């Protein structure tokens, strides 16, 4: 502290006595006496260097750093080459926040006295704070050469190495510090952080626990321990650690932030939202809190509010990676692909290597019907990471939409080779197999059996126990499970049944996986006795909810289509389980008891291949015309002078085999034209592809009428330009067939060797229109030629078809619903009889 040797001026004896007395008092901590003596010396000798210096040191000790800096600056003018004065002035300036000036004086001190450890220590510490890590490391090494084994210096040296991303060397430095001082809590903490960065989580956890044994109230160490437990998927234990912190400090922002993250990981979004809102009340500008709020709201199926939270985060930080990614994903779910694409592109402009953003871009391009661009995006991503499973799955979807079904199946197979338990990829593959001409009933049911073995078999309960009231005549509880309670062709299939249920006999609960709700959703919700939003609900939780609701008959409305919850059905949450209308080809799950069908849709000879028992309805699907449907128009042939064939199904159903047959038909019917209509045809490249394919088959482009997407009313009105509808194959139409018939347009179909190819045949058979059903391609061709030659019969069809539909059980939704309800009653009685027999066999009364 005192350094009289630094003074070049020899004091007079009296002054020397005072200086000796002052430094003695200073050393003992009697700062008042020391200050009085230093002041007396300076009154006598204003240029006394040692007294000036030591008074500055004393002022620093008193916390009067401004006065200290003034006195020490005077001392430096008196003795500019004093290492000690430079050092102490640096200390005062540092306390005043004048860090760069302080650093300059630390440098002088270390140069003027190279073997002065304290100067090196201050210099290294300052450099470290100012993020000059390389130079800081050099000076720690210099210091440790003079003061080997200093645990604090070894700690700081390790911190400098860690900041330089030299983690293994940092660990070695921390280990040396612990060898010198095993109970140094800060070293355990920093060692834990380094190990965490290296992915050595178990060792990191041990160090954080050691730090907490030494300092049990250390909040940051406990939160870091929680972070490691989270990475180890021990989220409940992690939340318990965070709870200990919040119990002592309920409003600690870091604790609330951790709690929100962990509750999200534990699928507790409502509780997470409480934590996040508490945090935002304390720190409204906390970007991560807004991001986590959006994630909680997304899990709670409040997507528009979630989007607002992500937008708020981006208002605070326009380049925030998580907010951009989450915003893009929720816009995909809301079916707002242009905005989603902008979000992903912004993120990629900042982080071109961001694979998930690249995947998001491809998915947005698919929704925009830009499937070729999407394929290029997926190819770019797979070039960087060939085993990116989700990209392989999304690539399969783009290929499917382009009608490249064989390649789509191969892409799903590649995903399943990497992730055999990827249920979505497995369902997607089964769904696309419907489009492959070469596969029949046996191959399809084999694929479904393999799905069960890979995805669902492990979930089966040996003996599910149900407490449902066994009264056979009581009001039954029906549970309908779907992600398509919205404007969707599947909803057009099951919607009439839900709307016409006898509510005195049946209670209807809808388990909705819809994220982008619309007017149809609101209609379904208003008509249900209970409505459950389940899109983000884990399978086990949804199964528990269904059991708690006391569902008697649980109905799957999706099959293997997008958004299905087959793994909920695999848990057998209801006594009777049925698959209906959504897939049509069975599920492969023995836990599903029945499937609705009709005699054409699944012929008798194929039924033994299915795990579900087939239950025939008047038709596999019914139809209820919307009130905005236009009236049937007059025959287009009379107006145009030529016959127009049409296919208003999705173009992905139009296979090369169908195109080849339709080209022969156009050639055989002079002057005829073919109308194709689908949203994908808005892409000029898709149009050019169809024209080129038909030209290759000898059909001039002017014989094709290619129409893009439109409102549903305009879509129905487009049948006013079609004389005869051509059903695609091997995947036939469903609701599209019903719509064509309702608009007065007959449909020619060819039932094939799988359920998806026989839906139209079942509809026509149910209406007594068997003369429009062909059994082979040649028969299809000749039937179309014959029907095209009889304009009077086509006119008669248009005049009578609506009455025929309304009079049938298949086309009258009220009659059809009564048949469905009778089926549920029969299934329920069969289950009761089975339980009674089981009870008798086990000796229960």
Per the CB < 8 A criterion, the answer to whether 552 and 575 are in contact is yes
Per the CB < 8 A criterion, the answer to whether 604 and 623 are in contact is no
Which DSSP symbol is given to 72? H
Q: Which residue has the tokens 């200086």?
A: 19
What's the rounded Cα separation, in Å, for the pair 126 and 105? Answer: 11
Average pLDDT, the chain: 94
Task: Look at residue 460 in the predicted model and tell me its pLDDT.
Answer: 82
Q: Which two tokens stand for residue 733?
A: 């139409």
> Would you tell me how many other CB atoms lie within 10 Å of the CB of residue 551?
26
Q: Average pLDDT of 286-294? A: 97
Residue 501 vs residues 156, 504, 509, 596, 727: alpha-carbon distances, Å:
74, 9, 12, 17, 31
Per the CB < 8 A criterion, the answer to whether 333 and 483 are in contact is no
In CATH, 277-457 is 1.25.40.10 = yes
Q: Average pLDDT of 382-387? A: 97
What's the rounded Cα separation, in Å, for the pair 387 and 751? Answer: 39
Who's near 542: CB < 8 A, 6+ residues apart?
A: 511, 534, 565, 568, 573
Q: Which two tokens stand for residue 826?
A: 């029969």
- Write out the DSSP string of 18-30: HHHHHHHHHHHT-
Asked whether the predicted pLDDT for residue 12 surpasses 60, the reply is no
CA angle 642, 644, 647 (to 5 degrees): 170
Task: Look at residue 541 in the predicted model and tell me its pLDDT.
Answer: 93
Residue 107 vs residues 53, 68, 84, 93: alpha-carbon distances, Å:
19, 19, 12, 14
Task: Look at residue 13 in the predicted model and tell me its pLDDT.
Answer: 44
Per the CB < 8 A criterion, the answer to whether 513 and 542 are in contact is no
Asked whether the predicted pLDDT for residue 582 surpasses 90, the reply is no
**pLDDT tens-digit map of 715-750:** 999 999 999 999 999 999 999 999 999 999 999 999
Per the CB < 8 A criterion, the answer to whether 348 and 316 are in contact is no
3-state secondary structure of 554: strand
What's the rounded Cα separation, in Å, for the pair 395 and 375? Answer: 6
Which DSSP symbol is given to 549? T
Q: Average pLDDT of 668-679? A: 96
3-state secondary structure of 405: helix
Task: Look at residue 842 in the predicted model and tell me its pLDDT.
Answer: 58
Q: Which two tokens stand for residue 804?
A: 């025929």
Q: What are phi and psi of 597, to 5 degrees?
A: -160, -165
**pLDDT tens-digit map of 742-775:** 999 999 999 999 999 999 999 999 999 999 999 9
Per the CB < 8 A criterion, the answer to whether 407 and 398 are in contact is no
Q: Which residue has the tokens 């006598």?
A: 44
Task: Look at residue 310 in the predicted model and tell me its pLDDT.
Answer: 98
**CATH for 4-249, options being 3.40.1410.10, 3.40.630.30, 2.30.30.40, 1.25.40.10:** 1.25.40.10
Q: How far is Cα of residue 617 from the mean position of the Cα atoms in its chain?
A: 39
Asked whether the predicted pLDDT for residue 320 surpasses 60, the reply is yes
Domain 636-811 sits in CATH at 3.40.50.2000
Q: Which residue has the tokens 């008092």?
A: 25
What's the rounded Cα separation, in Å, for the pair 21 and 404? Answer: 97
Asked whether the predicted pLDDT for residue 668 surpasses 50, the reply is yes
When pLDDT is cut at 50, 70 and 90, the band that residue 683 belongs to is: confident
**pLDDT tens-digit map of 697-706:** 999 999 999 9
When pLDDT is cut at 50, 70 and 90, the band that residue 16 belongs to is: confident
**Domain ranges (residues) in the chain:** 4-249, 277-457, 476-616, 636-811
| Sheet-wide strand order for 747-748 | 704-707, 673-677, 644-647, 724-726, 747-748
Q: Average pLDDT of 15-24? A: 88
What's the rounded Cα separation, in Å, for the pair 80 and 83? Answer: 8
Q: Average pLDDT of 431-459? A: 94
Q: Which two tokens stand for residue 668?
A: 């055989």
Per the CB < 8 A criterion, the answer to whether 293 and 264 are in contact is no
Q: Average pLDDT of 671-692? A: 93
Q: What are phi and psi of 350, to 5 degrees?
A: -90, -45
Question: Of the given ranges (524-528, 535-539, 580-584), which has the lowest mean pLDDT?
Answer: 580-584
Q: Average pLDDT of 101-119? A: 92
What's the rounded Cα separation, in Å, for the pair 100 and 126? Answer: 9
When pLDDT is cut at 50, 70 and 90, the band that residue 301 belongs to is: confident
Q: What is the 3-state secondary structure (H, E, C) of 179-207?
A: HHCCCCHHHHHHHHHHHHHCCCHHHHHHH
Task: Look at residue 844 in the predicted model and tell me its pLDDT.
Answer: 52
The reply to whether domains 4-249 and 476-616 share a CATH topology is: no
Q: Which two tokens stand for residue 741?
A: 């018939």
Asked whether the predicted pLDDT for residue 75 surpasses 80, the reply is yes
Task: Look at residue 284 in the predicted model and tell me its pLDDT.
Answer: 97
Asked whether the predicted pLDDT for residue 649 surpasses 70, the reply is yes
**CATH for 476-616, options being 1.10.640.10, 3.40.190.290, 3.40.50.11380, 3.10.450.50:** 3.40.50.11380
Q: Average pLDDT of 551-567? A: 96
Who's near 247: CB < 8 A, 6+ residues apart?
A: none
When pLDDT is cut at 50, 70 and 90, the band that residue 4 belongs to is: very low
Who's near 319: CB < 8 A, 6+ residues apart?
A: 346, 350
Q: Average pLDDT of 652-681? A: 95
């Amino acid at each position: 502290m005192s350094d009289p040797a630094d003074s070049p001026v020899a004091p007079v004896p009296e002054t020397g006595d005072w200086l000796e007395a002052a430094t003695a008092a200073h050393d003992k901590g009697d700062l008042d006496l020391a200050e009085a003596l230093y002041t007396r010396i300076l009154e006598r000798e204003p240029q006394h260097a040692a007294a000036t210096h030591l008074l500055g040191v004393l002022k620093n000790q008193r916390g009067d750093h401004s006065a200290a800096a003034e006195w020490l600056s005077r001392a430096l003018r008196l003795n500019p080459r004093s290492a000690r004065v430079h050092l102490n002035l640096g200390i005062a300036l540092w306390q005043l926040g004048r860090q760069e000036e302080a650093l300059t004086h630390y440098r002088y001190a270390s140069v003027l006295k190279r073997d002065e450890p304290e100067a090196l220590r201050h210099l290294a510490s300052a450099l470290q704070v100012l993020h000059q890590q390389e130079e800081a490391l050099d000076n720690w090494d210099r210091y440790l050469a003079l003061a080997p084994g200093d645990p604090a210096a070894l700690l700081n040296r390790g911190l400098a190495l860690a900041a330089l991303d030299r983690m293994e060397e940092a660990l070695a430095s921390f280990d040396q510090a612990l060898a010198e001082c095993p109970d140094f809590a800060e070293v355990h903490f920093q060692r834990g952080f380094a190990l965490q960065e290296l992915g050595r989580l178990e060792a990191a956890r041990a160090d954080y626990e050691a730090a907490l044994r030494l300092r049990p109230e250390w909040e940051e160490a406990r939160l870091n321990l929680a972070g490691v437990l989270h990475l180890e998927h021990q989220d409940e234990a992690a939340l318990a650690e965070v709870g200990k912190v919040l119990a002592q400090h309920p409003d600690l922002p870091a604790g609330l932030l951790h709690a929100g993250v962990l509750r999200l990981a534990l699928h507790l979004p409502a509780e997470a939202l409480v934590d996040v809102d508490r945090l935002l009340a304390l720190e409204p500008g906390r970007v991560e809190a807004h991001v986590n709020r959006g994630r909680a709201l997304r899990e709670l199926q409040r997507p528009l509010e979630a989007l607002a939270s992500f937008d708020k985060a981006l208002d605070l930080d326009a380049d925030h990676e998580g907010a951009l990614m989450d915003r893009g994903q929720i816009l995909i779910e809301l079916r707002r692909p242009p905005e989603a694409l902008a979000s992903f592109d912004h993120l990629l402009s900042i982080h071109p290597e961001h694979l998930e953003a690249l995947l998001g871009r491809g998915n947005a391009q698919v929704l925009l019907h830009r499937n070729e661009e999407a394929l290029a995006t997926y190819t770019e991503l797979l070039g960087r990471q060939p085993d990116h499973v989700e990209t392989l799955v999304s690539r399969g979807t783009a290929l499917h939409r382009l009608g490249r079904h064989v390649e789509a199946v191969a892409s799903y197979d590649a995903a399943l080779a990497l992730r055999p338990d990827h249920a979505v990829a497995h369902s997607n593959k089964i769904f696309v197999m419907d489009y492959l001409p070469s596969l029949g009933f046996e191959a399809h049911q084999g694929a479904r059996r393999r799905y069960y073995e890979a995805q669902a078999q492990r979930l089966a309960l040996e003996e599910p126990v149900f407490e449902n009231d066994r009264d056979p005549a009581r009001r039954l509880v029906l549970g309908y499970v779907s992600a398509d309670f919205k404007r969707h062709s599947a909803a057009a299939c099951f919607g009439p049944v839900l709307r016409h249920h006898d509510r005195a006999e049946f209670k209807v609960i809808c388990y909705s996986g819809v994220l982008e709700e619309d007017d149809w959703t609101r209609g379904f919700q208003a008509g249900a006795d209970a409505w459950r939003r389940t899109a983000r609900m884990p399978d086990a939780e949804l199964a528990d909810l269904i059991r708690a609701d006391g569902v008697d008959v649980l109905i799957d409305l999706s099959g293997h289509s997008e958004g299905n919850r087959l793994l909920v059905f695999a848990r057998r949450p209801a006594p009777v389980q049925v698959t209906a209308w959504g897939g049509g080809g069975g599920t492969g799950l023995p836990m599903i008891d029945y499937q609705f069908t009709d005699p054409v849709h699944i012929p008798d000879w194929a039924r033994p291949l299915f795990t579900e028992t087939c239950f025939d309805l008047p038709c596999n699907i019914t139809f209820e015309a919307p009130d905005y449907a236009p009236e049937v128009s007059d025959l287009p042939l009379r107006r145009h002078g030529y016959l127009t064939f049409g296919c208003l199904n999705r173009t992905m159903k139009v296979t090369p085999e169908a195109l080849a047959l339709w080209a022969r038909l156009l050639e055989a019917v002079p002057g005829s034209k073919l109308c194709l209509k689908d949203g994908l045809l808005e892409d000029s490249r898709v149009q050019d592809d169809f024209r080129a394919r038909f030209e290759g088959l000898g059909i001039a482009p002017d014989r094709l009428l290619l129409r893009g997407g439109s409102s549903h009313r305009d879509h129905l009105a487009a049948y006013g330009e079609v004389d005869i509808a051509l059903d695609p194959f091997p995947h036939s139409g469903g609701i599209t067939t019903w719509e064509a018939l309702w608009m007065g347009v007959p449909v020619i179909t060819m039932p094939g060797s799988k359920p998806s190819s026989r839906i139209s045949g079942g509809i026509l058979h149910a209406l007594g229109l068997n003369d429009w059903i062909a059994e082979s391609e040649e028969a299809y061709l000749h039937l179309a030629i014959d029907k095209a030659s009889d304009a009077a019969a086509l006119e008669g069809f248009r005049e009578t078809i609506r009455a025929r539909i309304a009079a049938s059980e298949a086309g009258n939704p009220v009659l059809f619903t009564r048949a469905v309800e009778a089926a549920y009653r029969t299934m329920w009685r069969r289950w009761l009889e089975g339980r009674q027999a089981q009870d008798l066999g086990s000796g229960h009364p």
